[in-house]
Amino acid sequence: MISNRRISVVLPAYNAERTLRQTVAEIPRDIVDDIILTDDASRDNTVAVARSLGLHTLQHHRNRGYGGNQKTCYQAALDRGADIVVMLHPDYQYTPRLVTAMASMIASDQFDVVLGSRILGRSALAGGMPLWKYVANRSLTFTQNLMLGAKLSEYHTGYRAWSRAVLERLPLHACSDDFVFDNQMLSQALYFGFRVGEISCPTKYFPEASSINLQRSTVYGMGVLQTALSFRLQRMGVARSPLFAGGGELRLHMPEATQA
């Protein structure tokens, strides 16, 4: 715990057998109360490794997608009493050693959301991010800052911490089950006025780390632009989007999962 806040780390996993042990070994157990892994119908031994590590393990029996996986993770964390939830990829691309810092920024009551930014500190290219991904990241972030009225260094990191209040408020059921989920969720947090902070996060690109190809990245980029446009049109009162309406209905739309 930090400041009497229960800390949960959620691991949305897909074929993470080779990197899971190393990731979990570096999670700071002195402040983390619960580690939850949701396996999205992996084709390797991710579930067996997670069990051997003593993680609370959930399993999708058919692939639900990256966003669908996170919906299960967040609902499980809330059900198990989390006050702060840190979402960490189990592919060891992001260092687990920043969990304490990110959770502390929320526990201090200064932020509701904290992002581990690969752009702050210029660690993205140094860590091996392909140049085309870096350029796309910077271009999309520039566009989103203009359309969403924010000043973030990047919107596309997969390392995020959320307060319980945010997870209970956002209409996550309206978000995609695919990769654009991350971007939609962050856009929702900004739309509803939650305080978003950033911390510099080193990143590593290597064969075992998960990454989407150019085709999937293009689809993701189009989804990002569509999300930003929906945000702007709703703010202008021109059109309404389910992404920015209502809230707190995650449980009703959570993908089915069983304890592994």
Residue 260 lies in a domain: no
Q: Residues for the chain: how many in total?
A: 260
Residue 86 lies in a domain: yes
* Model pLDDT for residues 113-160, shown as the tens digit of each residue: 999 999 987 777 877 888 888 899 999 999 999 999 999 999 999 999
The pLDDT-based confidence of 253 (bands split at 50, 70, 90) is very low
pLDDT of amino acid 257: 81
pLDDT of amino acid 214: 77
Question: Distance between alpha carbon 94 and the CA centroid of its chain, in Å?
Answer: 12
Judged against a pLDDT cut of 90, whether residue 260 lies above it is answered with: no
Maximum pairwise Cα distance, the chain: 53
Domain count, the chain: 1
> Which pair of tokens denotes residue 82?
């989390």
Say if CB 201 and CB 95 are below 8 A apart. yes
CATH number of residue 26's parent domain: 3.90.550.10
Amino acid in the structure at residue 228: A
Distance CA 164, CA 166 (A): 5
Residue 141 lies in a domain: yes
pLDDT of amino acid 259: 85
Q: Measured between alpha carbons, how far is residue 93 from residues 141, 243, 256 in Å?
A: 20, 29, 28
**Bridge pairing between strands 258-259 and 56-60:** antiparallel
pLDDT of amino acid 91: 94
Residue 249 lies in a domain: no
For 104, other C-beta atoms within 10 Å of its C-beta total 20
pLDDT of amino acid 165: 97
Residue 80 lies in a domain: yes
pLDDT of amino acid 127: 77
* Model pLDDT for residues 46-100, shown as the tens digit of each residue: 999 999 999 999 999 999 999 999 999 999 999 999 999 999 999 999 999 999 9
pLDDT of amino acid 99: 98
pLDDT of amino acid 232: 96
pLDDT of amino acid 126: 77
Residue 251 lies in a domain: no
* Model pLDDT for residues 9-52, shown as the tens digit of each residue: 999 999 999 999 999 999 999 999 999 999 999 999 999 999 99
Residue 254 lies in a domain: no
Say if CB 54 and CB 27 are below 8 A apart. no
Residue 257 lies in a domain: no
Domain encompassing residue 233: 7-239
Query: What is the arrangement of strands in the sheet containing 258-259, beginning at the earlier edge strand?
Result: 196-200, 113-117, 160-163, 84-87, 7-13, 34-40, 56-60, 258-259
pTM exceeding 0.85: yes
Judged against a pLDDT cut of 50, whether residue 252 lies above it is answered with: no
* Model pLDDT for residues 200-250, shown as the tens digit of each residue: 998 877 666 656 677 888 999 999 999 999 999 999 999 999 999 876 555
